[in-house]
Chain A
Amino acid sequence: MRWLAIFAALAFVPASARAEEQALHLTQAPGVDVVEGHCGACHSLEYVPMNSPFLDAAHWDAEVAKMIEAFGAPIDPADAKTIGDYLKENYGG
């Protein structure tokens, strides 16, 4: 259900925009697919490098928590941890 929702969200974005966003390659590291799937459902991935490398571990965790709690992102705890770990490891400050 969750992935169906994300797929549906992605499907709303025109191909041209997706094509451009694919050109932004996040650092290839464990968890990048989960980050792209969840974060990219609602916004372009530029938000990640744009907010780097100054957010420390606690602040990246806070960003992930905000997306879930304030913005309603359907991310289960295991994926949230994967996303947080990826961001801290690859875009942490």
Chain B
Amino acid sequence: MITRRGLLEAAGGALAFGGGGALTAPARGAGSTNSGLLWLSPLLPAGTRANAALDTLPGKKPLIRLTSRPPNYEAPLAYLRTAITPNDEFFVRYHLADIPQIDAGTWKLNLGGEGANGGLQIGLDELKKLPTFEVAAVCQCSGNRRGLFQPHVAGVQWGFGAMGCARWKGARLKDVLDLVGLNKDAVEVVFDGADGPILDRTPDLVKSLPVWKAIEETTLVAYEMNGEPLPHWNGFPARIVVPGWTATYWVKHVTSIAAVTKPFDGFWMKMAYRIPAGKFPLVARFISQETAVTTPITEIVVNSLITSPNDGTRVKPGHKTSISGIAWDGGYGISTVEVSADGGKSWTEAALGEDPGKFAFRPWSYDFTPVARGKLALTARATNKIGQIQTREPIPNPAGYNNNVVQSVTLDVS
């Protein structure tokens, strides 16, 4: 019943620590000393709020633990105040609990598939010999903010922090595929990683991309994150990086890349990570996986986040106050961030900060001087360069994806 597929596949010999045991999140509660980090939206389910806690995975700063096995840890708001998220503050998300530690020296990447002109196995040194490319890009879970949907839907009840932005460096996937040669009849490229399920009957997380997206120059097999090797929890030693698209395609610990001539029909493509057709204003399509009713999730919807001050902060009337945050989208670039202090009747443009690239977080800030005492709700909304704008109401979908509802913080002016 127990699959060790992950371990076997990661071989030519990658071994797990601990005598072949699945590495799961250890118990290292960070405790209450970091209580300022543990801000949980009141919109989250009560059971989520009661059980979420700060916890420190090896190599990470305290993150907000939603589940320990498999590990699902989100970044506190305080970690999302910069364009680039440090590696030790980056969120962690796994579907399945068999997560081997991989030895870079023995890790192998298998290339092939019936849509390729042959097969090949390469190691990390060979991957690193290919021309390098670096891109700053947001890695965001499709279900980020799922926990804020009303009504709630089942799943990991993420708040705002199932995302981060890093400088990813590696080989272009196109160059990797060129090592074996992509045939003209290839329609998708399929990725598998070394992590896998506990039971062999559980579908392994295997994902595919349409060929056009796979060979875009920004789609990578990345082995560095912010100038360092990928952290274990973020896909060491190599992961797929698909700037602009949600993280479901960013397969971690990648061990296999296969070109296929028919749409890949695995569970995680056919049954999961799908959204109702036509409901979201998305440009990028994954036509070989579309049905009349649903389509795979593709690009990240335009979004923004107020990261400072925290909801409920007290500010003084007559004193200049600054609110700030980040905005991002699926790679069209942010054109404006606006702030409203009157519930969305009027909007004022915020100042945009550094621009690490069109796939990255774009910091913004807005200075104002509150006058009237009392509660002051501030709302932010982002618009991208193709005119897409955040929604005011959630777009219902069964799995709670693509939540880009405008966010508000309420300040106490007193």
Residues of A near any B CB (own CB < 8 A)? 5, 8-9, 12-14, 16-17, 19-21, 23-24, 41-44, 46-55, 59, 62-63, 70-74, 91
Contact = CB atoms under 8 A, between A and B. Distances in A.
What 3 pairs between A and B have smallest CB-CB spacing? A72-B201, A20-B27, A52-B47
Nearest to A73: B199
23 contacts: A5-B199, A9-B2, A9-B199, A12-B198, A16-B26, A20-B26, A20-B27, A21-B68, A42-B198, A42-B199, A43-B67, A43-B69, A43-B97, A44-B68, A46-B66, A49-B47, A50-B48, A50-B52, A51-B157, A55-B152, A62-B154, A72-B201, A73-B202
A53 B195 CA distance: 31
Interface in B127-175: 151-152, 154-157
Contact of B21 (A14, A24, A52): A14
Main SS at interface, chain B: loop
B26 A46 contact: no
A20 B51 contact: no
Given A5-B1, A42-B197, A46-B68, A51 B154 contact: yes
B46 A14 contact: no
B267 interface: yes
Nearest to B155: A51
Contacts, number: 116
Interface string B219-242: 000000000000000000000000
A44 to B, nearest CB: 4
B45 interface: yes
Nearest to A24: B51
A51 B199 contact: no
Contacts of A8: 1-2
Nearest to B98: A12
Contacts of A53: 45-47
B47 A91 contact: yes
Given A48-B47, A70-B267, A71-B201, 6 more contacts: A20-B25, A24-B51, A42-B198, A50-B48, A51-B152, A54-B151
B22 interface: yes
B97 A54 contact: no
A52 B45 contact: yes
A16 B69 CA distance: 12
B291 interface: no
Contacts of B25: 17, 20
Contacts of B283: none
Interface residues of B, number: 39
Contacts of B203: 70-72
Contacts of A5: 1-2, 199
B363 interface: no
Main SS at interface, chain A: loop
Contacts of A44: 67-69
B95 to A, nearest CB: 10
B47 A51 contact: yes
A29 B160 CA distance: 34
A63 to B, nearest CB: 6
B36 interface: no
A74 B199 contact: yes
Nearest to B68: A44
Contact of B1 (A9, A16, A55, A63): A9
A48 B50 CA distance: 12
Interface string B80-105: 00000000000000000110000000
Contact of A13 (B24, B151, B201, B202): B24
Contact of A46 (B22, B51, B98): B51
A14 B20 CA distance: 10
A38 B157 CA distance: 22
A1 to B, nearest CB: 9
A7 B314 CA distance: 53
A46 B66 CA distance: 7
B293 interface: no
Contacts of B97: 13, 42-43
Contacts of A9: 1-2, 198-199
A17 B1 contact: no
Contacts of A55: 152, 154
Nearest to B149: A54
Interface string B263-289: 000010001000000000000000000
A79 to B, nearest CB: 15
Interface string B12-30: 0000001001111111000
